[in-house]
Amino acid sequence: MLPCVILAGGIGKRMRPLTANMPKALIPVLGRPFAELQLERLAAQGVRDVVYSIGYRGEMIRETLGDGARYGLRIVFVDEGQRLRGTAGALRLALDEGLLPEAFFLLNGDSYLSLNLADVEAAWRTRGRVVLMTVLRNEGRWDRSNVSLRSDGSVLYDKRLAAQDGRLFEWIDYGLSIVTHEAIENSIPPSGVGDWADVVHALSVRDAVAGYEVGERFYEVGSPEGLRDLEEHLLASAQNVNPRRIFFD
């Protein structure tokens, strides 16, 4: 199984006041830090190595998670410190520090996903592009749609245009990609800053991003509504009943 890079350096503005004194990754979900739930899910699917990218109140994440042994993982940290570089800059920092794997799952630090990682990795090995993005047919249901899935399996991704009019797209970035070392090295300059979404947009315009469609909705703790839905989902799953709103009608 490929290693996983988790992007968890942001300030979590939409989750204030919770994130005034803690990073978003440590927001309590049913009484437990979200990061622990996320890591346990990765370990259960066979991931063994995690590169955790931290920034805002990153020392709290490091102290909570340690070396990852209690989750069945090996964790190394890449710390932006006080100079937040954005998601693209964080990936370049990991590359510059020699900690970026040759290929890896890239996961948002606030995402809780139900898809099968082995299936995603198998699809990536057959697609021949530097990035594979998991996508969900969204049609504006959960957030602004931002992806067009082409007939050849590649995607056009445009977060900026979607913010103006999400009706132009039918799919949404699901929150997990597979990325190659090459995509970072050739797209982000040393010590660079910026948003990974802009890098992926540029790569998708060049037909360098493949799509992998999933059917189940995503969960996240990046918004109050997302946190509420995740807790409902986990409670329902624990009771062995179908959670509300997992599948589209």
pLDDT tens string 203-246: 999 999 999 999 888 899 999 999 999 999 999 888 764 444 43
Q: Tell me what the pLDDT averaged over the chain comes to.
A: 89
Query: Residue 249: pLDDT above 70?
Result: no
* Nearest to 198, CA basis, from 161, 246, 244: 161
Tell me: pLDDT of 26 over 50. yes
- Model pLDDT, residue 146: 84
Highest mean pLDDT among 8-12, 117-121, 173-177, 187-191: 117-121
Contacts of 216 by beta carbon, 8 Å cutoff, 6+ apart? 114, 115, 136, 246, 247
Q: Is residue 248 one of the residues assigned to a domain? A: no
Residues 211 and 153 sit within 8 Å (Cβ to Cβ) = yes
C-alpha closest to that of 174 among 216, 209, 116: 216
pLDDT tens figures, 157-208: 987 776 666 566 788 889 899 999 999 999 999 988 999 999 999 999 999 9
What interhelical angle do 86-96 and 196-205 show, nearest 10?
A: 90
* Residue range of the domain that includes 15: 4-133+175-238
Query: What is the structure's pLDDT at 167?
Result: 62
More confident residue, 168 or 3: 3
> For position 178, what pLDDT does the model report?
98
Q: Flag whether 125 is in a domain.
A: yes
Residue that the structure tokens 């979590």 belong to = 12
Digit-coded pLDDT (tens) for 56-83: 999 999 999 999 999 999 999 999 988 8
- Pairing mode, if any, of strands 103-108 and 4-8? parallel
Per the structure, how many domains does the chain have? 1
Q: What is the mean pLDDT of residues 1-16?
A: 93
24: pLDDT strictly greater than 60 = yes
Q: Is the pLDDT of residue 31 over 70?
A: yes
* CATH number of the structural domain spanning residue 199: 3.90.550.10
| 162 falls within a domain | no
The mean per-residue pLDDT over the stretch 114-126 comes to: 94
Does some domain include residue 107?
yes
Q: Please check whether residue 180 lies inside any domain of the structure.
A: yes
Does any domain span residue 249?
no
Q: How far apart are CA 152 and CA 166, in angstroms?
A: 22
What is the average per-residue pLDDT within 121-140?
90
Is residue 157 situated within a structural domain?
A: no
Tell me, what's the pLDDT at 140? 65
Assigned domain for 108 exists: yes
pLDDT of residue 241: 47
